[in-house]
Amino acid sequence: MIGLEGATLRSARLTYRLLEPQDKPALAHLLADPEVTQPAGFLPAESPADFDRFFTELTLYRTGIALLAGDVLIGYFHVNPYRTDREPYAGQPCVDVGFVVGKAFQGQGLATEAVAFLTGYLKERFDWCFAGHFTENTASRRVLEKCGYTLLGTEKVSIPALGREKECLRWVR
């Protein structure tokens, strides 16, 4: 779907490739911190089996991308097919993207670098890239603004993992 099978891409400080089974322990460690997962709408896995299910879903369609600084996994970027009836996007090739960066790697511009680079890569293949984040997640908002995304509006989203409904800002580029 995204053309990264067997490929490795590089930006100024980061390397990108599809997530692989060998990334599982490092990703489990990054996502064990609720301060990292809750802003993205999920809780840390309660058990290794729960994390295995999460990782399997993230990598099932080969659209989960490892974000690497050298050989260190710092987070991931995911791409999902997206359809909308909203004009002017209706009927056009669209994807929805999301990203998570480990706490030790936040505040260094790495998420901005990754989102800008991978959005550019995806825009060569798709007409529109959509993204969303919860209203209180100002770090994600700053990243999307810096990467040229345009705010479309807000929507209520049910988050079963957190047991509540939250307001989400939707963006497009």
Sorted by sequence, the CB contacts under 8 Å of residue 114 that are 6+ apart come out as 11, 14, 16, 67, 75, 77, 99, 101
pLDDT at 138: 95
Query: Quick one: pLDDT at residue 160?
Result: 78
Distance CA 23, CA 3 (A): 20
Give residue 1's pLDDT: 82
pLDDT computed for residue 157 by the predictor: 86
Residue 110: predicted pLDDT: 98
Q: What is the pLDDT of residue 3?
A: 93
> Which pLDDT score, from 0 to 100, does residue 163 have?
77
For 64-76, the pLDDT digits (tens) are: 999 999 999 999 9
Ranges of residues in the chain whose predicted pLDDT is under 70: none
